[in-house]
Chain A
Amino acid sequence: MIPMRRHSQYMRHAALVGVSAIMLLPFYWVLKTAVTNENIYAYPPRLLPESPHLFNFVDVWYFIPFPRYLLNSLVVSVLVVASNVVFNAMAAYALTKNFPGKRAMLLLFLSCMLIPFQATIIPAYLITSKLGLLNSYLGLAFPLLSTIVCIFVFKAAFEAVPQSLVDAARIDGLSEGRIILRVLMPLSTAAVATNVVLAFIWSWNAFLWPLIITREPTMQTLPLGLARFLSYMEDTTGALYAFAVMVLAPSIFVFLMAQKEFIRGLTSGATKG
């Protein structure tokens, strides 16, 4: 952009610091409450926690089946991430080839993208129940096992690989599967990362679907555990906020580690359609 005067630079900084403060305030407030040991309802609330401690986190770990929720969430996330990388790469490779009906196929994918999953919950529940997958890890993961946005991320990455390289591999006698595995994937690590990050975030945060198809607490994932904890305890204890912090930490960590891949995934789905 056109160079600005220093004065306007300061104005910009001031505005952005203000915005950032508002955006960060909820983080601070939940952290502060999570480490507060006194009555969290004391008025006026203290802006700084007095003698902060971590008992609340210990409570979460021992007094509710947190390890169980965590295990369930992890199993579902691993399932979703692994199958997304495999299935999306396969589909994307197919879409880089020319075949009759390719246009129709692309159009089908793009229109599927416009159907929000939430608009299909009733039949999706009936289908899952017919498949006998209610209350199972596979059932929890099923709708997320392949995602259209991520297929297009792979497709763009594969198309950027020089065709001569793929042809050379074919002449050397590599099978199609090996070409994906040995040639295309190593050259598309950014796309793999995008797939992993997006699939993880989506499955980790999913709430409505697990809410519908799990009946037993032993199959519930972290967001359900959190909501259940809220409905038992109301918001009377700092442990609830410690729970929230523990659940948020992994996604914040993943986001900060792979911010570029995450944003690229979202915007490529967004701008390329």
Chain B
Amino acid sequence: MMQAAGQVSGERGAWWRKKRTRELVLVTCLLLPSLAIFFLYRVLPLGWNLLLSVQYWSPLKPPRWAGLDHYEEMLLYDDVFWQSLKNTLIFIGASPFAIALALGIALLVNSDLKGAAVYRSIVFLSYPLMTVAVGIIWRWMYDERGGIINFALREIGLVAKPIPFLQSFDWALPSVIVAEIWQVLGFYMIIILTGLQSIPQHLYEAASIDGAPRLAQFWRITLPMLRPSLFLCAVVGILNSFTSFDLIYVMTNGGPGHATELLITHIYKSGFGQTKFDYAAALTVVQFILLLALTYLANRAAGGNAGSLERQ
């Protein structure tokens, strides 16, 4: 009996003394805090969200199976859903223009131009700012009386009376999109600049020797080599339809009517305004699928494995 116990502890000691095992325990301990956080706030919510979307949920009663009822309600009866889907797509659809603009600025800045670093900082300065404050600033810029935009338009003589940008059904969404582009433009520029700097110079030298004009060099070298960066910008643009919640909340709160309602604001209002967590979860699933589908399309457009995740 004693001997057996001794043998067991001896084995256990050997097991513990094994270098590989010790390493494995160490690695597990080191990874544990981060993994716990990602599990609790990324993986688990994703699964639970899916489950919620096919349940009837209420704060006090245990959940019941709902099948696809929420999806049916959403697709057949929820006009706000369709409106916010359309707005989200418009919102995302504007990002190629922003990316093109950022590409232009990046090309101007990426040279031996004196003071290029200063311009770069200025364009990027708006990105790390608190979006709530940015929304408040832009709200004020669009104001009918105190706002500089209406003032400038009237001074130039483009409009006779001020445009209530954020209160108008036609103007509200484009106005919010402009504010969003203002904030994210610098980030696009930085991504593109990183891409530009990784293009080997000898490609341009070879092209120049062959007598290729600058424009051809842009189309044949710069743009194809920038594909991974442009793909990344596109992904950021798609993700922004989620993260622009702050901006919308402050600037219009989805209004007027539902003219600037995005899926994310609709999710928030259904979930936390009306406590329909199950329905909001179904909306989230749709938004997430939309996001994956668009990312997949962007990846295809960028030529397959651009921004490949395998690369370490």
A220-252: CB near B (< 8 Å → 1, else 0) gives: 001100110010000100001100100110011
Q: How many residues of B contact A (CB 8 A)?
A: 95
B154 to chain A, nearest CB (A): 8
Q: Closest residue of chain B to A143, judged by CB?
A: B41
Is B250 an interface residue, CB under 8 A from the partner?
yes
Interface 1/0 per residue, B63-102 and A, CB below 8 Å: 0000000000000000000000000000000000000000
Contact residue among B40, B113, B138, B140 (Cβ-Cβ distance under 8 Å from A12): B113
**Which A residues are in CB contact (< 8 Å) with B110?**
1
Q: Is the CB of A122 within 8 A of B137?
A: no
Task: Check if B191 sits within 8 Å of A270, measured CB to CB.
Answer: yes
The yes or no answer to A91 lying at the interface (CB within 8 A) is yes
Q: Which residues of B have CB within 8 Å of A270?
A: 191, 194, 232
Interchain CA distance A1-B277 in the complex, whole Å: 55
Bitwise interface map of A from 35 to 51 toward B, beta carbon under 8 Å scored 1, else 0? 00000111111000000
Q: How many Å lie between the Cα of A100 and that of B198 in the bound state? A: 33
Which residues of chain A are near B284, meaning CB under 8 Å? 119-122
Q: Is the CB of B271 within 8 A of A120?
A: no
Given contacts A33-B146, A97-B27, contact A244 B138 (CB under 8 A): no
Determine whether the beta carbon of A230 is less than 8 Å from that of B136.
yes
Q: Mark A197-209, 1 if CB is under 8 A from B, else 0.
A: 0000100110110
Residues in B whose Cβ lies below 8 Å from that of A15:
108
Instruction: Indicate if the CB atoms of B24 and A91 lie closer than 8 Å.
Output: no
Cross-chain contact A116 with B242 (CB below 8 angstroms):
yes
User: What's the minimum C-beta distance from B193 to chain A, rounded to whole angstroms?
Assistant: 9
B312 touches A208 (CB 8 A): no
Among B38, B111, B295, the residue within 8 A (CB) of A1 is: B111
Residues of B within 8 A of A119 (CB): 46, 49, 242, 284, 287-288, 291
In A1-41, which residues have CB < 8 Å from any B CB?
A: 1-4, 9, 12-13, 15-16, 19-20, 23-27, 29-30, 33, 40-41
- Contact bitstring B227-239, A, C-beta under 8 A = 1, else 0: 0110010000001
Chain B residues lying within 8 Å of A4, measured Cβ to Cβ, are 111
B130–A204 CB distance below 8 A: yes
Specify the chain B residue showing the minimal Cβ separation from A102.
Answer: B27
B288 / chain A contacts, CB cutoff of 8 Å = 119
Chain B nearest Cβ from A240, distance in angstroms? 7
A215 shortest CB reach to chain B, Å: 11
A271 at the interface (CB under 8 A from B): yes
Q: Are B38 and A148 in contact (CB under 8 A)?
A: yes
Assuming the contacts A20-B119, A112-B38, A263-B124, asked whether A235 and B140 have C-beta atoms less than 8 A apart, the reply is: yes
Contact in complex: B137, A29 (CB < 8 Å)? yes
CB <8 Å contact, B26 and A91: no
Contact with B along A104-120 (1 / 0, CB 8 A): 01111111101111111
Contact indicator A223/B132 (Cβ below 8 Å):
yes
Q: A12-B111, A110-B309, A201-B128 are in contact. Are A19 and B45 (CB under 8 A)?
A: no
Whether B136 pairs with A241 at a CB distance below 8 angstroms is: yes
Please state if B272 and A45 are interface contacts (CB–CB under 8 Å): no
The 9 A-B residue pairs whose C-beta atoms are closest, nearest first, are A120-B45, A123-B45, A94-B30, A123-B48, A91-B34, A146-B34, A118-B242, A223-B132, A143-B41
Q: Which A residues are closer than 8 A to B by beta carbons?
A: 1-4, 9, 12-13, 15-16, 19-20, 23-27, 29-30, 33, 40-45, 83, 86-88, 90-91, 93-95, 97, 99-100, 105-112, 114-127, 142-143, 145-146, 148, 151, 176, 201, 204-205, 207-208, 211-212, 222-223, 226-227, 230, 235, 240-241, 244, 247-248, 251-252, 254-256, 259, 262-263, 266-267, 270-273
A sample of 15 inter-chain contacts (CB < 8 A) reads A12-B111, A16-B108, A16-B119, A19-B105, A19-B119, A24-B122, A40-B146, A43-B145, A45-B147, A45-B148, A91-B35, A122-B267, A127-B44, A207-B246, A223-B130
